[in-house]
Amino acid sequence: MTSKKEQLTVFPDTNVLLHYPHVDQIDWLKWCNCESIKIILCLKVIDELDCKKNDPNLGERAGKVLKKVNKIITSNNGQIKDEILLKTGDKDLKYTDISADEAIIQQALDYQSNHQDEDLYIMTEDLGMQLRCSQRIKIIEPDKKKRMQSPMSKLQRENIKLKNQLAKLQNQTPSLSLILTQPV
């Protein structure tokens, strides 16, 4: 995209919600080069986030994303800022027998068929999703400089904590040396 668009509709992939800042902290207008934006979360994305809540590495992050999305939708009626609206997609029960990527694409295509006046994109960094979108729907990649570090599991965090404690103890232990001399 080169010139600034007036309004975009964007379907973010799950990876954008898990590996980038919270949905209300992303500079959507800059990332999408537009003046206003409607962000639509497919129920399949919500389902994927729900499944990740038990993941040892991504569980905490997924839970925070779901709480943040729920708060925005219930208390702010989806309004993040005046020019940024967050909505959940229509019921997508008919997308149960296909991959998550295909379900997101199909819901975006269904949406587009009923909203032909809207400029629609899928936001993803995943190559598989990008390949599935090619020839069917436009994509936007998130700003890779804003990607968060991969989260560590509880075991990994505990391991680092123990290593730091050990290093601290080793630095506190006095160094002893024994010098033997012969009597004169």
| Domain harbouring 74, CATH code | 3.40.50.1010
Please answer whether residues 153 and 125 qualify as being in contact, where contact means their C-beta atoms are separated by less than 8 angstroms. Answer: no
Q: Which tens digit of pLDDT belongs to each residue from 110-149? A: 999 999 899 999 999 999 999 999 888 999 999 899 998 8
The DSSP bridge pattern shows strands 79-81 and 84-88 to be antiparallel
Distance CA 36, CA 21 (A): 19
DSSP 8-state class, residue 57: T
How many residues are there in the chain? 184
Q: Is residue 135 part of a domain?
A: yes
Residue 161 confidence (pLDDT) above 90: no
Segment 59-68 mean pLDDT = 93
What is the pLDDT of the chain when averaged over all its residues? 87
Give the DSSP H or E segment for 168. Answer: helix 154-172
Query: Considering its fold, how many domains does the chain have in total?
Result: 1
- Tokens 């991504």 sit at which residue? 58
- How far apart CA 176 and CA 179 sit, in angstroms, is 10
Range of the domain at 84: 5-172
Judge whether 184 lies within some domain: no
Provide the whole-model pTM: 0.78
Who wins on pLDDT, 94 or 26? 26
Is 96 part of a structural domain of the chain? yes
Q: Does some domain include residue 117?
A: yes
Asked whether residue 183 is assigned to any structural domain, the reply reads no
